[in-house]
Structure 1
Amino acid sequence: MIRLGAVGLVLAAAVAGLVFSDAWLWVAVEWSPPAYAGLYERGGLDTSTTVVLIVATVVKVALLWLILRTPAPGPLDRREKALRRLLYLAVAYTLVLWYPIALLPGPVDAAFQLALWTAIDVLFLLVIRWRSRLLRAAAGVMFAVELAGMANELLDQLDLPELGPVGILAPGLLSGAAATIVTVLGQRRDGRWSLGTQIAGWSSLGVNALVILLNLVFGGVSSGDLGVLVMVQAISSGDLAVLVLVDAAGLVGTVWMAATARELPAEGRPAELPPARRRVIRVAVAAVAVLPLIALIHPEQTPRLTYTGWSMDCYDRPAFGDLKPAERDAAFLCRARSTEGGVPPMFPDSLSNQEILAYGRALCRTTDRQEQQTILKRAGSARSTWGADPWDLVYVCPEVVGATHPELLRSATQTEEANTAYVAEKNAECRDPWPRTKGVVQATANYFLFVDGDPGYLVHDPDDQAADEAAEQATNKVYDDRSLIGVAGSAALVGHVDDVSDVCLTVKAFRTAPPQRIAGWDQVSEVPIVSRSGRLTVPERDGGEVGAGAPMPNLAIAGKGHYRLRVHVRVGDAGEEHLVVVFPGASEKRLELKR
């Protein structure tokens, strides 16, 4: 009933496709979305491709009828049962499961196929009665090469070092064909598989040869391990018919897998081997399967560039506290090989991962910059005179760096919480220096400056179309006058008097000019400023290193127009304090109210 239902469904869907649309016909015959054929860009199928699809329907229906035959009755041991189930899983993957798995990330598909065929190949070695140690050993080698190619593909998708040369271990037609040859030979010597099953196996090799030929002709055809899943990457009008034919022929390999699973039971098998001999065989098979892989592993002296400055995993740069212990070495390798900003890497690419990690731990044990420079020079670093920074070394020796820089051990959340607490503490140290006179809007906060010589802070119109140009001009003018206030249209840069990294800043806006409060201040200046968008404010820190530690109000309370900006400055025991007063005023005069 299942066979009749599946075959009838394919035939009915193909007939419906002929009646209704080319997209439906494609789905019915090829069992893949229309986008794979580029039907939406083409506008439909030409006559020759439609005819080929009809022929492919007949071929695929016939092969599907063979695939869905009922398993042969007979006793099976646990290995044979497992092999039958895995072969049917491989058949299901080829027919229907490949599409939903293809929607997942690429490494998932590669890992699934590697795990599936590893189990199948191992069971082939154990279940098939090879009747020749040499043939079994050859099968083990071929299976190992095939699996190494699959592992290489998985490692490549995970951006990890590969096992060996891609040209030798590339998964696909050649390694799959070699594994198929030894398996069919083993089936022939075993005796339980019919001639038809063996013919299907040899026929699948013919499909592989066909795909290799098409790959040479069209340059865009690639195939899966058994020549079952065929894709054309650059499909022209003529190539689409070729894709349909190759895909239909590829089901021969699926017929072979299904027939192999179907005919596993056998009568009159020889008596079980003694336990000691079975153990010897298991060890031999495991050695044949594993030793070729071990031989392909690179020696440690060969550079393994698992993580470079351009690796995808190196862009995020997570905090130390957000990494698991097993991830910290990789984070250090990212930083050690980084060329961000155009600077040379800390270590050359000629060093392996382990050598770089060893040098990193040696840097942790140094007591001064000179020792670090010596180690870096010995390692061949292009920037040996720079030494090494603790925020890089913390990933390889947290116990050493954390003793002097505990803040580097925090997670991103902990760092954010610590910064928030620090900003709140600094804001709490600042008081309103004119508490009895309330502005229409006002705010008091600590303004954080760059430690290495920030000229001051802006009072500006951030929505002015020429805001950046005005800010640059105001910065250039800040030292033109002893009051340290540079004005350019909608921006005024207020400099600081003392050599400080932050100032206590209070801003107030009034509707009319307030009293000139001069007593208690070292200097008081008044300059003109304009708001072209109806805004005047002071930049906030907002997660950065520079800016006000609390939200700043809009000081242009009268909307667009001209304003007066009065700046009070004094330096005392509490540090440097600034009081900025803004009120409407059309005067263009610059006043020095106190000097």
Structure 2
Amino acid sequence: MSSAGLWRIIRYGAVGLALAAAVAGLLLGDEWLWLAVEWSPPSGVWLYTDAGLDTPTTVTLIVAAAVKAALLWLILRTPRQGTLDRRAKALRALLYLMVANALVLWMPIGLLPDVVDAVFSLVLWAAVYVLYLLVIRWRSSGLRAAAGVVFAVDLALTANGVLDRLDLPEFGPSALLVVSPVVATVLTVVGQWRDGRWSRGTLVLGWSSMGLYALIFPFDWLVDEIFPDGTAATTVVWNTIALVTTVWYAATARELAAESRPAAGPSPARRRLNRVLVAAVTVLPLTVLIQPERTAHLTYSGGSSDCYHRPAFGDLEPEERDAVFLCRARSTEGGVAPMFPDTMSDQAILAYGRVLCRTEDRDEQQEILARAGSVRSTWGVDAWDLVYVCPETVGATRPDLLRSTAETQVDHADYIAEANARCRDPWPRTKGVVQATANYFLFVDGDPGYLVYDPELEQAAEEATDRSYDDSTGIGVAGTAALVGHVADVSDVCLTVKAFRAAPPPRTAGWDQVSEVPLISRSGRLSVPEMDGGEVGAGAPMPNLAIKGKGRYRLRVYIRANDAEEEHLVVVFPGASRKKLKLKS
């Protein structure tokens, strides 16, 4: 079978299938009618009444089915036979790819990430525009140059779609998104006319596709006036009219091999007019695209302000610091309102940030934030946010905020080592089976004490904490956990833990309080929480105090305090007694 015969079978089959599907959809119901005519799933947008499609939409779908079948008949006409060079063959293939994309390929491509669709469109149009310049016989270097400029502007604006999906800065005003394709279409049709290979019908299709852009706004206004409650008929009409452009692409590809007809020779007056038009379409898009130097290029980073991670100032390059401050200022983490209104540009937020750096007190900060329209002006701004925009100011009083993560870790380790070094073993001559001495860091805002517990059974810790307030020994016991309270208002204590195989002598001399309580280990472990990268816990590794494994133990706690610090000695040894003893108070 020849390629022409196969093409005719496809043409008759596709048009017949479209008409049959429309008839079947009319019989089966609204969803099937929409699918058969629009060639896309309903997706719910067409339901404007509880009963389904409104009457205007149903009538429009029936008419659109016949119109789209006719347009599909034109699209699938057999390509003209003739000799094509390599460039013309490539252009014909790309134009038919654009036709296939408009008819069917858009559905599978739509399942991919948006950026894939945007890149596909950009690459396809770039290739078509280049081949337009090479294949069309423009018969005028000025006209070809004008087309090249307009095509480049249109591609630059198409690239904005890719940049937007990648959250990168865009270029060019959005108004050109309407103007540029219109001008590109005009120049392409003019080039086809001067080439002479394309028929008058193809040229009419090109002019018609350009005219669609001018109908958008008045048509939408007219529909809103007639149907104030909305109707899906508008979508159907536009989807049908859009096929005119697809017919033009198909006709352009079909007639590429046609023999050239002599181009009409323009009169001298017409040639002068053509030069003026060429200059206008070349210069005007550039004058719109290039903005005056005094016009601010404002940016808005609110769409990407998820600041769950706050990088250390010292880890950032200078050019990254403003972005972090913007992220913090626009953050809605925890459901709170952002520091500044969403409508404020990045440049304005940075300017306000630098003004806030120069304030002398919280009241002045609140006044500036209120003037900026902040809904949380009473909060002020913290130094650890401002450090990103004015490190020289904040660093003068808070040099710790200028450190990198590595520097902070080293400083933190030095601080812990220094705190541990000041603590001494109060029983240096009485060695336990296992033992350790370290500084225990308490929670600054009121930690009741520290736990000696079975870490495999943490549920008892909360109950032990509650009981510590009511127990005369100051130790809350809940089976596998004991909460040891501190007696002075301190933020940390020097803690020594020792485990023995039997009860050591009481030796209460020199201690303010000595208490003894029962404790159980069900997993074979008893220990004290360690800091382990946090802010609360022992500053050094703590041993397992349940030296005989699972079973009952006795916990003896020695406490003494002075004005500067508080010292604890925790002694654990096996013991079955369940009594609570106050050996000294």
The TM-score bracket by the shorter chain reads 0.5 to 0.7
Alpha carbons of structure 1 residues 438 and 150: separation in structure 2 relative to 1, 3 Å = same
> Residue type matched to 2:164 in 1?
L
Q: Does 1:498 align with 2:488?
A: yes
Instruction: Tell me the residue number matched to 2:160.
Output: 151
| 3-state SS of 1:314 partner | coil
Instruction: Tell me the residue number matched to 2:398.
Output: 405
1:556 to 527, 546, 550: 546
Instruction: Tell me the residue number matched to 1:40.
Output: none
**Contact 1:301–1:352 at 8 Å: present in 2 too?**
no
How far, CA to CA, are the matches of 1:259 and 1:433 in structure 2?
Answer: 100
How far, CA to CA, are the matches of 2:573 and 2:472 in structure 1?
Answer: 23
> Residue type matched to 2:167 in 1?
L
Q: Does 1:510 align with 2:500?
A: yes
- 1:296-337, Cα deviation, whole Å (9 max, x unpaired): 99x8699x64226xx365333322223332322222122222
Percent identical pairs in the alignment equals 55
Q: Equivalences for 1:467-546 in 2 at 5 Å?
A: 467-468=458-459, 470-546=460-536
Greater radius of gyration (CA): 2
| 3-state SS of 1:408 partner | helix
Return 530-539 or 392-401, whichever deviates more. Answer: 530-539
Q: Equivalences for 1:225-236 in 2 at 5 Å?
A: none
Q: CA deviation at 1:151?
A: 0.8
How far, CA to CA, are the matches of 1:115 and 1:316 in structure 2?
Answer: 36
**Contact 2:98–2:249 at 8 Å: present in 1 too?**
no
Q: CA deviation at 1:389?
A: 0.5
Q: Equivalences for 1:146-185 in 2 at 5 Å?
A: 147-158=156-167, 181-182=185-186, 184-185=188-189
How far, CA to CA, are the matches of 2:356 and 2:570 in structure 1?
Answer: 49
Q: CA deviation at 1:139?
A: 8.7
> Residue type matched to 1:71 in 2?
R
| 3-state SS of 1:431 partner | coil
> Residue type matched to 1:182 in 2?
V
> Residue type matched to 1:361 in 2?
R
How far, CA to CA, are the matches of 2:87 and 2:575 in structure 1?
Answer: 99
**Contact 1:566–1:582 at 8 Å: present in 2 too?**
yes
Alpha carbons of structure 1 residues 445 and 119: separation in structure 2 relative to 1, 3 Å = farther
Q: CA deviation at 1:397?
A: 1.0
Instruction: Tell me the residue number matched to 1:382.
Output: 375
Alpha carbons of structure 1 residues 176 and 250: separation in structure 2 relative to 1, 3 Å = farther
| 3-state SS of 2:443 partner | coil
Q: When the two structures are superposed, what TM-score results if normalisation uses the length of structure 2?
A: 0.64
Q: CA deviation at 1:393?
A: 0.5
How far, CA to CA, are the matches of 1:329 and 1:161 in structure 2?
Answer: 19
How far, CA to CA, are the matches of 2:82 and 2:566 in structure 1?
Answer: 86
> Residue type matched to 1:334 in 2?
C
- 1:339-386, Cα deviation, whole Å (9 max, x unpaired): 323333322224322222111111001112221122112122222222
2:191 to 187, 193, 198: 187
Unaligned runs of 5+ in 1: 1-58, 74-83, 210-215, 228-248, 264-279
Q: Does 1:329 align with 2:319?
A: no
2:302 to 264, 289, 307: 307
> Residue type matched to 1:477 in 2?
R
| 3-state SS of 1:385 partner | helix
Alpha carbons of structure 1 residues 374 and 590: separation in structure 2 relative to 1, 3 Å = same
How far, CA to CA, are the matches of 1:180 and 1:480 in structure 2?
Answer: 84
Q: Equivalences for 1:458-469 in 2 at 5 Å?
A: 458-464=451-457, 467-468=458-459
- 1:465-522, Cα deviation, whole Å (9 max, x unpaired): xx23x22222122222354221112111111222222222221222221222322322
**Contact 1:536–1:555 at 8 Å: present in 2 too?**
yes
| 3-state SS of 2:450 partner | strand
Q: Does 1:581 align with 2:571?
A: yes
**Contact 1:143–1:289 at 8 Å: present in 2 too?**
no
How far, CA to CA, are the matches of 2:542 and 2:384 in structure 1?
Answer: 33
**Contact 1:66–1:255 at 8 Å: present in 2 too?**
no
How far, CA to CA, are the matches of 1:251 and 1:504 in structure 2?
Answer: 85
Return 368-377 or 149-158, whichever deviates more. Answer: 149-158
Q: When the two structures are superposed, what TM-score results if normalisation uses the length of structure 1?
A: 0.63
| 3-state SS of 2:302 partner | coil
How far, CA to CA, are the matches of 1:373 and 1:153 in structure 2?
Answer: 40
Q: How many residues align?
A: 483
| 3-state SS of 2:463 partner | helix
Alpha carbons of structure 1 residues 141 and 177: separation in structure 2 relative to 1, 3 Å = closer
Return 134-143 or 410-419, whichever deviates more. Answer: 134-143
Instruction: Tell me the residue number matched to 1:353.
Output: 346
How far, CA to CA, are the matches of 1:525 and 1:393 in structure 2?
Answer: 50
Alpha carbons of structure 1 residues 479 and 149: separation in structure 2 relative to 1, 3 Å = same
Instruction: Tell me the residue number matched to 1:71.
Output: 86
Alpha carbons of structure 1 residues 442 and 146: separation in structure 2 relative to 1, 3 Å = same
Q: CA deviation at 1:425?
A: 2.6
Return 147-156 or 377-386, whichever deviates more. Answer: 147-156
**Contact 1:357–1:396 at 8 Å: present in 2 too?**
yes
- 1:410-433, Cα deviation, whole Å (9 max, x unpaired): 233332232223223322332222
> Residue type matched to 2:351 in 1?
A
Alpha carbons of structure 1 residues 433 and 256: separation in structure 2 relative to 1, 3 Å = farther
Unaligned runs of 5+ in 2: 1-74, 101-105, 214-231, 260-275
How far, CA to CA, are the matches of 2:309 and 2:255 in structure 1?
Answer: 50
How far, CA to CA, are the matches of 1:283 and 1:336 in structure 2?
Answer: 47
Q: Equivalences for 1:41-190 in 2 at 5 Å?
A: 71=86, 107=115, 110=118, 114=122, 117=125, 121=129, 129=138, 144=153, 147-158=156-167, 181-182=185-186, 184-190=188-194
Q: CA deviation at 1:72?
A: 6.4
